[in-house]
Amino acid sequence: MESRIKTRMGDGSLVEMTRSEIRSELEAGVEAAVGRAKAPPLADDELGHLLDIYASPSRFSAVDIGDEVVLSVDGTNAGAFLSTQQDLQVYEQNFCLDIIEVAHIDYSYKAVKAIIPSQAQVVRDAQLALTVPLNYGAMPNLGLYSQPDGPVPNWAELLPQGRIDEARQGQEQAVEHAVKDMIEVGEGMWEAGVDGMDFDTAGAAGDGDFLATLRAIERLRAMFPDLGIEVGMAGEFVLGMHGQLEYDGVRLAGLWPREQMKLAAKAGATIFGPAVNTNTRKSGAWNIARALTLVKPCCDEAEIPIHMNVGMGVGGVPMAYYAPVDGVGRASRACVDILRLDGL
């Protein structure tokens, strides 16, 4: 009789499975990704390595010595502990992150535009006291430009009414506003001395959200050739809220990580962060197998560094506020070992 191994579900709860059951979960996760995204399945030796990682009873799991990757992170200061600058120093000196980030609690470029001078001052002051590179980050968050929060007609209200053309026009107008705001914030932070910009949860409001991000990146790259630009996606699949938007002749709706990465690189991004959402009803093994299968084509063809989103509820990490280290460690190691990516 097979022994039972403690392992995590996608919601973080601890369950017990046999090695054979974990293997079945991994195979089912691969199958789910292949079926959805038409991605090639993981190879047998990759599945075997994943099984060794996920069937291990140890609390910690880590990459081999020498295989370490870069750790970048979003929102490293929300005033949670101390002042903004002290928070950043804690993340640099105690949490040992490689690239940290100034972020406002509103975390949307539309909101930040109104307070660029004060945020730029934070960046400037922080850069005097930090050694590691510093990003400024926020979300494109296209939804904020729709009524009643913003100036353009609300496509989420128009679509259910069948007013498709008006919904599309609203999104097109929102894209213009968002691009302008992202460029303005980027200019302000560059002048203050930031090392890079982070466009986090790109595509959260669908294809218009992703288009605005790409256009803003293109402009910022042309203006500031030495600016680092990181794009972190909101999910594995670009939703077609508009359905007809294109960038460089490529329709954005329905893009998976590989195609997302190619467009981000073309626009001028220097780091791309694919995101695959965790299914809380499935096991950690199922989730990581699905995530890796979806992202592997992106890493295999990457032209820029890939920093996969591996945090609460994404990248095979359980959707739990207090992320169990065994779940995070296994997912992180699996990403590095199987994907051979550049960072997390």
Partner 1 sequence: MTRGMRLKEAKAYVAGKLGVSTGDLSDPVVMGDLRSELGLARVVTPEATYPREANAIEAKFRIARLLDLPINCVNRFAERAGLGRPSSS
Residues engaged in binding partner 1 (CB under 8 A): 65-66, 68-70, 72, 92-94, 96, 99, 124, 127-134, 190-196, 226-228, 230, 265, 269-271, 302-305, 341-343
Cβ proximity of 229 and 268 under 8 Å = yes
Cβ proximity of 290 and 276 under 8 Å = yes
Pairing of strands 134-138, 196-202: parallel
CB of 274 to partner 1, least distance (A): 15
CB of 159 to partner 1, least distance (A): 37
Nearest to 121 by CA among 102, 108, 106: 102
Burial class of residue 60 (count of CB atoms within 10 Å of its CB; 0-12, 13-18, 19+): exposed
Q: 52: number of CA atoms within 13 Å, CB side?
A: 11
* C-beta of 69 vs 202, nearer to partner 1: 69
Cβ proximity of 308 and 344 under 8 Å = yes
What is the Cα–Cα distance from 213 to 216, expressed in whole angstroms? 5
* C-beta of 120 vs 167, nearer to partner 1: 120
Nearest to 22 by CA among 330, 238, 275: 330
Interhelix angle 84-93/116-129, nearest 10 degrees:
40
CB of 272 to partner 1, least distance (A): 9
* C-beta of 192 vs 310, nearer to partner 1: 192
Task: Show the tokens assigned to 182.
Answer: 């992202």
Nearest to 17 by CA among 28, 25, 26, 6: 6
CB of 186 to partner 1, least distance (A): 12
CB of 294 to partner 1, least distance (A): 20
* C-beta of 32 vs 138, nearer to partner 1: 138
CA 193 to chain centre: 24
Nearest to 286 by CA among 334, 234, 342: 334
* C-beta of 26 vs 265, nearer to partner 1: 265
* C-beta of 66 vs 148, nearer to partner 1: 66
* C-beta of 7 vs 332, nearer to partner 1: 332
* C-beta of 12 vs 188, nearer to partner 1: 188
CB of 66 to partner 1, least distance (A): 5
* C-beta of 130 vs 239, nearer to partner 1: 130
What proportions of the chain, in percent to the nearest 5, are helix, strand and coil?
45, 15, 40
Q: Where are the beta strands (DSSP E) in 213-316?
A: 228-233, 246-247, 250-251, 271-273
CB of 246 to partner 1, least distance (A): 23
CB of 130 to partner 1, least distance (A): 6
